[in-house]
Every structure is written in C-alpha cells, then in structure tokens.
Chain A
C-alpha cells in the first residue's frame, strides 16, 4: 500500500527545513544517532539536494552512549560528507559524571542539558533542528514546530509564539535561539514506515540480537562495556533483545524481541501496547519530569 500521508509528512518536513535554513544565520542539526535522527538527516538531505544540507551535525555526547552508536555516527557523517561536531561537557569529563555515582537526573542534566547549552553558545548557533515528535509525550503535544528559547535557553509553555499556516517565525534577538522540530507531526509508526519505504540506515541495536543484559528494577540493561558496576553475584545473561529508543546504555531499557527486520519491528509495534518512552529510565524519576527538563533547556 502506498502511504500517501507519508508523502504529505515528508513534504511538510522539507518545507520546514528550507524555511528554517533560509531564515537563520547559523543553523545546526542536533544529531542524536537514533532512528528519529536518521529520518531527520534523510529529510534534510532531500530538502537541499543536490546541495548538501547547509549546516553541520552536532552530537552532544555523554561518553556513555552504546559503542555501536558512535561507530554508526562517525560512519554516517563520513558517508554523507557532512561536518560533525561532537561536544562533551568538559566539566563532566573532568568530574567523571556518570549515572551510577551521580544518578540519572544529574547525569542527564549535566551532560545533555548543560552540554547542549555550552555547544550552542560556543558555536553561536541561532537555530537547532531536533527530532522530537509531538506524540512522544504529553508535554510535547503543545510544542511548536519553531520553538523559541530565550537567552537562558528556556522554554516557556505559557508564552509560545502562535504558529499559523506554514508561516513560521524564526526571528531571534541576541543570545536567543529557535529549536525546530521537522518531525512534529510524525508518530512513531510513521517513522518506522518511512524508514522501511526509504530504506534508511539505522543503528543495528534496533534489531533483535543476542546481547549481554542484566535485569534491574524490571528493566533490562545491556552491559555494553566494563565500566558498568555489577552487584555481587550479578552475571550478564545473553538474551535476544532490541531497543526501541537509544540513549546512554545504562539508562536505556531493552525489550525482548525477535524482530530482525523493519517490517518485523512494525508488526511487533502494531501488536505491542507499551509506549516508546517507557524504556527510558529518566522519565520515571518524577511526574512531569520531561516538562521540567524542557523548561530548563533539555532538548
């Protein structure tokens, strides 16, 4: 079946990319290596083809990503011929911030939220593309496509710019910036249908394979390297698992699955009944935690 709504979503996203690039001085694409980033990058290439997208990729690294993600990231940037900027918050590097000793909230805030701010300021980016979707989480449902951030990088849900027709407002003053979400109107299922249709490469971790995992509080955590402290008697088990979202490996839950192709993943998704962010440990910290993080400038 030809999914005409994917054509419409694609055209809308391309329109957004072109408007944003035309109206900003120093745009950047926040590349977080997951499937949404893969789709985002694919759409960016379509928007400007045959030119390369007129902006670099920025990865805000935490040093705790899955190793396969980093390999994929570097290969992707090389194959696309795009500039890749990797930012690691130097204060976190110095202090050795990690999710085990400092807790997931602090870890995420310092590496990602503060790291992103640093990178935006250091490179004086005035506009950043991100892969967030409105269907991901309740607080995102009211997010604009062009989301204004004040000079303190904060999102103010109560004073957002109204957004009408396809007339986006990308204007900023000194220090202010815009986050642009070309995938705003996509759902998780749309993303997978599109990956299938366009044959977009994604990190192999999305596909089921035998991986060493431990179970913690009901969440399957993959032991990706020997930095992971194991409890006495805790022994990684080889299980056939895959990931629905990718982040820092100690904070990302795996799901048991046999899906090894995109159609199998789609079939599994249509049958499953657990939402995507469920596997992300950070969301469970406190009710409304995503909203709070957004106000503080987390992507």
Chain B
C-alpha cells in the first residue's frame, strides 16, 4: 500500500467517492466477528442502548471474561446465537467522516462458497482474516481464489491475533510474503497486509505501539483509501428495465447506465437487433439531464420511432454491444438439487429472463487446490467451467469487462430457487453461424401426402406399468390403417444412441433429451412417433414437449400404483432392486414424478391393454391427428 498523494486525495474529494462496500472472510474463530464488532464500536455510531446490551451480553455469554466481546454485536439471529455460529451473509453499516461502509459478513464454515460468492458479488474490496498462529491455510487460499474469481481487485490481509505470537515481526513478514506470492499467482495484485489484534484493537482503527516496525496503514485507514471501481470508463451501455408510457405521446425507457456515459444526441444501437436511434431526452423527476453516467437510473427517450423492450441494451452506435445465445461461463452452484446437464433452467441476465441449458462441464475447479477435476454434474458449493445455451439471443459483455452484463443467475423452473450463478467468459460463435436450413419440402407438405398429422405420443410410467404393451398395440392399429409410425423405446435407444448413459439423475436427463430431439426430427419427417420411456422427471418431459409445436405432443400417463407393478414384476426387476442389485431404480430408490396434466391417463389396474390402446387411438382421432378414419 503506497501512501496516497495529496493530488489523489483531492480528486477523491471532488469525486465524492464516499461509500465502499466490502466483504470480510476468514475461517471460524479467526476473529472476524470481533474485528467487525470493533469497527462498528470504534466508528462511534454505536447507540448507547446497544452498548448497554453488549456489556450485559458480554458478562453473560462472552468469551472474554467480563471484557466487551465485540463478536456479540455481530451475531444477530437467535438460531445462530444458540449455536454460536454465523449462518449466512449479513450486512452491516458504519461510517467515518470520510466514507460510509457496507460490510458483507460471510461465515467461514459450511456453504462457504455459496455465501462468499454472494457477498463478494456486490463488494468492491475484501478483508481476508487469518490467525497469526496458523498462517496461510487451505481456507485462506480458498478465500483468495473466490475473490479472484469474482473479480475483487483490492484485498487486505489482516494477520490477526498477533498478540498471541508476541507481536512478532518475522511471523507477520513470513505470512505476508507467502500470501502475496500466492495472491499474485492467481491475479490478485493489489494486496495490503496488516498486522492486527482484533480483541486489543491493534492497527484496527489506531496505529499500535506494539508494532513499531510496521509502517503501513491501519485497517480502517486502508478501507478509507481504497478506490472503488473506475467510474465511467468504456462505451455507453444502458439497460432497459421498464417501458414508460404514461400517455400516448410519451414513450420512454426506464433503466440504468451500466457502463460508460450516455449523452443527449448520442447515436445508440438497440441490442439485440440492428436498429439505430438518437437519444432525444434523458428524463428524471428532477428535470432533464444532458448526460447520465454509470450507475444512474433515468428514463431515456429516443428520437426515432423504434421498438425497444425490457432487457434490451442501448449501446453506443460506434461501439455496439455483442449478442449471442451460447457462452463459455464459470458456474457456481448454489442449490441443494444438483445441476444436471441438459435440464431446462432459466437464466436472468441484465433485465432478461430466458431459457438456459448447461452442457456437461468441461471441468470443475477445486477451490482448495486450484486443480481442474472432471465433472458430470455440479453440486452445491462447486464451481465449474461449462458451455451454456440460451433459448433467446441476449446482449452481453464478458464478466471481466462489465460484470453488470456478464453475470447471470440460474433459476430452477419448478421451485423458482436461485440455483446457480454464472460469469460469462466468452461467447461461442458457433451459435451465431449455424443457421437453420430452410427447406422446401416441409412438414406440411409431408403431412398432406401422409394423410395424417405428425405427432409424438409419449408414454410415461413406472417399469411394468404396461407402457410398451400399449404402445405396441397402438402402433399395430395405426400401421394397419396405413399410417407412418415409429416406436422409440428403451430397447432401440439404450443399445445404440444412448449406450453411453447409465441411470444417474444426470444420465436420465440426457437420455430423455436425446430421445426428445430424435422424436422431434421424426415429427419433422412426418411420422407419428410412439415413445415409451419411464421418463420419471416432469422437467424432462416438459423439455421433450417443448421441442415440437403445440398440439404435436400427447403425454400418456400409464398409471399403476407401485404395489401393483411390484406384484406383477414381469421382468423380476423390482425384486432385484429391492435386493440392492439394481441402483437408481425408479420407484425404489429413484423418484417418479407423475404428470400433473397429461393428455391421457390410463389406469391399467382397471383397463385391459386393448381398452387402453383404444383410448389413445380415440384421442388421436378427436384431435385431428388422424384424418379420414
């Protein structure tokens, strides 16, 4: 840390950069709560009733034998007080004459990746704590790697509990040297190391007499002097959040400048798309502006009559923003339910929410060692590099260039959980260049000749419920009528197309994805496709449905209770699964999610196979798939 020049200090004052959001990370018991508590306490904003409570609590529960235990200031929730641990990300506030601070406090134990990434995503600087007695540990490296991943530029290392090593200069210097070297290797180049004792207050807000050999800033001094991210560099990017139409004559776009600056009269290009327009007015409730800089929330009116909607980006015409539908990204998984390649998720990026699927990860990153490991799925707290595909083109920037347009969250379609977080590395140009071949002989032409409409009849249900028997009867009947059909089932798929897949959740998803794609191609070929698969997950059946046009998918739930099929057990599979010889068997140790609204439900405990097949055929006649019969 170099002492800041008077000129730099002056600029700062002119720029009024008087807020800093930072993150603290450390392992349990390194003294993080004590340190934050002390910053709150010393910033003298602590109300007297809080202080009285602190004194009382310190006597009752404190670990400091009657002295003030600052950690108690920071531990908020009853649940965590009882367990003596911090459970999530907490935000705290304090201020000095020069700056106001928001501290994101994240725990050092379980779910550390999830919590730390969350806290770091909105931080401009970070304080990493370690215990001087133990030095740089695996956890310290883990914290530093996550900071580098999230692009945190400014890092302070607090070498804490220095009192317990006799305020030793050589201990401090050894640890600082180790950390600096490691940090430089992972791209953290602005690192300041500070010798502290959180309980005694050394070098926290005031310079300590116990470390006369230390010439750097105190922790608070460092926090007051860190420069947050550069203000308004780069080309203009304005993110449209809301179309503002109070009356017919006014059409504005409310949103935020996320990069650069936007001026009245600027030519902008609307992305995605190719249209250009001129910024006519920049409207706020306090009056029109000539320009809006990064971070400002305004409403922009364009001179030209163009169509802009939520999620679009207005970008400097001379330096427009790229658009794409596929990316390589770093993904951090946050949800208990593991990430399954091929599964349909949603992504929120900028102000757009679009469909997303993830390919099998290229590799997983071990945050403790930095090693690349193979991975097929992704569990909570794991980080991977993978290609992702969106169902809609979006405007983006690489995360390193502009995090506002390079970050996304992954949403689970069923429970709406925030399941993952992503950072765009670069776009895969492939998606832009592979265009659909437009063909002259299309589905309609084939359908006209065939005398029936193509469709997928998807039979789902437990093993032994009767799917194949019924599908076979339906196909025979159709064939006899001269219809063009094809039956897809486990036998003809598992032995060829999908012979590389097993029965894990991830493989089941991929299995159904491939079958869905094949079925969709066959629909294009004009066939009536009968697909007979257990297909236990709602989401994958929805995926298969989504691959063909509305009305071309008929979901048939071949329904029989587990006790019933287990009693039938025509292939002896249930018995084997019960004996533990078959893993991941649907109904036994792998779930079956019944359809909520199938087109047809066949109760095979009440119907014969012939009756069931006739119900399916009747439905195909009613919906006009079969003509002239």
Contact = CB atoms under 8 A, between A and B. Distances in A.
Given A22-B351, A141-B76, A157-B79, A48 B19 contact: no
B169 interface: no
Contacts of A49: 283-285, 299
A274 B47 CA distance: 5
A157 B77 contact: yes
Interface in A79-128: none
Nearest to A46: B285
B7 to A, nearest CB: 19
In this complex, the member of A49, A157, A184 whose beta carbon has the largest number of chain B beta carbons within 10 angstroms is: A49
A172 B416 contact: yes
A288 B91 contact: no
Contact of B118 (A139, A162, A273): A162
A48 B254 contact: yes
B47 A275 contact: yes
Contact of B254 (A18, A161, A162, A165): A18
A278 B47 CA distance: 10
B285 A45 contact: yes
Given A50-B283, A51-B246, A274-B47, A161 B417 contact: yes
B49 A275 contact: yes
Interface string B61-99: 000000000000001111100000001111111010000
B359 interface: no
Nearest to B412: A171
A272 B18 CA distance: 23
A291 B77 contact: yes
Contacts of A232: none
B246 A52 contact: yes
Nearest to A168: B348
A4 B18 contact: yes
A166 B48 CA distance: 35
A169 B89 contact: no
Contact of B121 (A5, A164, A291): A164
A82 B19 CA distance: 34
A49 B299 CA distance: 8
Q: Is the interface of B mostly helix, strand, loop or mixed?
A: mixed
A216 interface: no
Contacts of B92: 134-135, 141
Given A4-B15, A138-B77, A165 B403 contact: yes
Nearest to A166: B404
Given A11-B295, A15-B297, A167-B348, A273 B48 contact: yes
B242 A171 contact: no
A158 interface: yes
A185 B102 contact: yes
B300 to A, nearest CB: 13
Interface string A1-25: 0111101101100110011011100
Contact of A8 (B78, B295, B349, B415): B295
Interface string A46-59: 11111110000000
Interface string B45-66: 0111111000000000000000
A141 B75 CA distance: 10
Given A4-B16, A49-B285, A163-B118, A141 B242 contact: no
A163 B418 contact: yes
A238 to B, nearest CB: 27
A21 B77 CA distance: 30
A21 B297 CA distance: 15
Contacts of A162: 89, 114-115, 117-118, 334, 418, 421
Interface residues of B, number: 67
Contacts of A14: 297
A43 to B, nearest CB: 10
Contact of B242 (A22, A161, A278, A292): A22
B421 A164 contact: yes
Contact of A139 (B76, B122, B252, B310): B76
A138 B121 contact: no
Given A139-B77, A162-B118, A4 B19 contact: yes
B256 interface: yes
Contact of B245 (A15, A51, A160, A169): A51
B411 A169 contact: yes
A142 B47 contact: no
Nearest to A275: B47
A15 B256 contact: yes
Contacts of A165: 121-122, 403-404, 407, 409
Nearest to B241: A18
A278 B353 CA distance: 43
A261 interface: no
Contacts of B213: none
Given A47-B297, A48-B242, A274 B285 contact: no
A218 interface: no
Contact of A291 (B18, B78, B349, B415): B78
A173 interface: yes
A186 B331 CA distance: 31
A16 to B, nearest CB: 10
B241 to A, nearest CB: 4
B89 A142 contact: yes
B539 interface: no
A164 B245 contact: no
Contacts of A7: 295-296
Contacts of B431: none
A142 B348 contact: no
A11 B294 CA distance: 10
Given A135-B93, A142-B90, A157-B88, A3 B18 contact: yes
A138 to B, nearest CB: 3
A68 to B, nearest CB: 26
A288 B78 contact: yes
Given A141-B91, A288-B78, A21 B242 contact: yes
B78 A187 contact: no
Contact of B93 (A19, A134, A161, A288): A134
A284 to B, nearest CB: 10
Interface string A180-201: 0000110101100000000000
B17 interface: yes
Contacts of A187: 93, 95, 100
Nearest to B296: A11
B250 interface: yes
A141 B47 CA distance: 16
Contact of A274 (B18, B49, B114, B244): B49
Contacts of B310: 22
Contacts of B595: none
Given A15-B256, A18-B242, A138 B93 contact: no
Interface in A173-224: 173, 184-185, 187, 189-190
Interface string B311-336: 00000000000000000000000100
Given A274-B47, A275-B49, 4 more contacts: A4-B18, A7-B295, A47-B297, A275-B50
- A-B pairs, top 9 by smallest CB distance, nearest first, are A4-B16, A138-B76, A275-B47, A273-B48, A5-B19, A171-B416, A14-B297, A49-B285, A288-B78
Interface of A: 2-5, 7-8, 10-11, 14-15, 18-19, 21-23, 45-52, 134-135, 138-139, 141-142, 157-158, 160-167, 169, 171-173, 184-185, 187, 189-190, 272-275, 278, 287-288, 291-292
20 contacts: A3-B18, A4-B16, A7-B296, A11-B297, A14-B297, A15-B241, A18-B242, A19-B351, A138-B77, A161-B417, A162-B114, A162-B115, A164-B409, A165-B409, A166-B404, A169-B348, A171-B411, A185-B102, A187-B95, A278-B47
